[in-house]
Amino acid sequence: MSSPIQPVRIKSFVPDAENQSSSGPELVEKHSSLIGSGTGHWADRIFGGAMLLAALSVLAIVLLILTQLYWQSELSIHQFGWKFFTTSNWDPVAGDFGALPFIYGTLVSSFLALLMAAPLGIGVAIFMNEMCPRPLRTPFSYLVELLAAIPSVIYGLWGMFVLVPIMRNYVQPFLAAHFGWTGFFSGPMYGIGMLPASVILAIMVVPFISSITREVMLAVPQPQREAALALGATRWEMLRIGVLRNARIGIMGGIVLALGRALGETMAVTMLIGNRPEIAKSLFAPGYTMASVIANEFSEATDNLYLSALVEIGLALFLVTIVVNILAQGLIWSITRGNTVRAN
């Protein structure tokens, strides 16, 4: 009984197979007709071209900014050459310009801000994702994201009227008493200077770090956590091994984004940094940033060389941002590489 059935089954199978094999070329034909037909072909090309154009336009805009900045600052570039980036005299009356204090101020204030904001932002993200009671999670995350929505001039005003007195009356005397020997916390305590500017920057970039860290942590698969816990890890060990190690590339990305924001921030920093083009070891001393000097002096710069020097500061800010971003990308790359090696 079984032998007559089998041919039948085979028979019944064969037409099916034939059907399939016949539908196969049909499908391909259908597709190829789509690809091959004139309109489809052109649509594809146009789409591709449009996307290429969109991508190239970004490149073009960057190049355009760069060339424009270069042209506008040619006068100052010819006058001062590389000395512009290594001297610290900024005298609009005498027409002598050096950008070093501004570059220093921008880098130091941003670096200090990240030093404070990174642990804070990551801490906020860990709390919200892993520890916060569920009903509080949404209002809490709104609050953190609200920080990113506050205009920077409001930060500046708040800084001037709230942060500066706190700095002058409590924080700076404390730092001077306990860490004055380092030389970073000495000199007159104005309340205004590099330190409060860095603190306000840190507050401003925390939401960037925390929300990106949150997203990346959410992307870590749940079994990773469960596996770590199953192996007897404490909560902190689970977070460190199971979550943070997997998420660190994303976290670094968040920090780089925050750095970009900190480098270019103008208004709040201008209101708090003291606007003094000098390089001082003490963080109590006033400083100056590249973005601040442009915002402060551009509107009244009548002299051509003066204007050109300000544009060159813009060029310097542009280049510093690029260099810092490349360095940060390199850092991420080296960490990623380390990760794969360890995984293998």
Partner 1 sequence: MIRRILALFCLALMATAVSAQTKINGAGATFPYPMYSKWFSEYHNQHPDIEFNYQSIGSGGGIRQVLAGTVDFGASDGPMTDAQLADAKVKIVHIPTVLGSVVPAYNIPGVKGEIKFTPNTLSGIFLGRITNWNDAALAKDNPGLNLPNVPIVVVHRSDSSGTSYVFTDYLSKVSPDWQSGPGKGTAVKWPLGLGAKGNEGVAGMIRQMEGSIGYIELIYAEQNKIPFGVVKNAAGQFVKASLASTTAAAATAKMPSDYRVSITNAPGKETYPIASFTWLLIPQHNSDANKHKIIVDFLNWMVNDGQKMTQQLTYAPLPAEVATKVKATIAQLK
Give the shortest CB-321-to-partner 1 separation in angstroms. 22
Could you give the CA distance from residue 312 to residue 188 in angstroms, rounded to a whole number?
33
Should residue 330 be labelled a site residue for partner 1 when binding is judged by CB under 8 A?
Answer: no
Helices (H), ranges, the chain: 2-36, 38-72, 74-80, 83-86, 100-126, 134-149, 152-158, 164-166, 172-179, 194-219, 222-230, 235-237, 245-264, 267-273, 290-297, 304-343
What part of residues 83-112 is at the interface with partner 1 (CB under 8 A)? Answer: 89-94
CB 239 within 8 A of CB 292: no
What part of residues 254-283 is at the interface with partner 1 (CB under 8 A)? Answer: 270-271, 274-276
Should residue 191 be labelled a site residue for partner 1 when binding is judged by CB under 8 A?
Answer: yes
Give the shortest CB-53-to-partner 1 separation in angstroms. 32
CA distances in angstroms from 100 to 8, 90, 310, listed in the order given: 89, 9, 13
Region near partner 1 per CB under 8 A, out of 60-68, 116-124, 214-222, 285-293? 285-293
Applying CB under 8 A, among 192, 201, 212, 324 the residue interacting with partner 1 is 192
Give the shortest CB-289-to-partner 1 separation in angstroms. 11
CA 25 to chain centre: 50
CB 164 within 8 A of CB 196: yes
Give the shortest CB-267-to-partner 1 separation in angstroms. 9
Should residue 296 be labelled a site residue for partner 1 when binding is judged by CB under 8 A?
Answer: yes
Should residue 299 be labelled a site residue for partner 1 when binding is judged by CB under 8 A?
Answer: yes
DSSP labels, 169-212: IIIHHHHHHHHGGGSSS-S---S-SHHHHHHHHHHHHHHHHHHH
Give the shortest CB-233-to-partner 1 separation in angstroms. 50
What part of residues 148-177 is at the interface with partner 1 (CB under 8 A)? Answer: 160-161, 164-165, 168
Should residue 295 be labelled a site residue for partner 1 when binding is judged by CB under 8 A?
Answer: yes
Q: Cβ–Cβ contacts within 10 Å for residue 339, how many?
A: 14
Give the shortest CB-165-to-partner 1 separation in angstroms. 6
Name the site residues for partner 1 (rule: CB under 8 A): 89-94, 160-161, 164-165, 168, 188, 190-192, 270-271, 274-276, 286, 288, 292, 295-297, 299-302
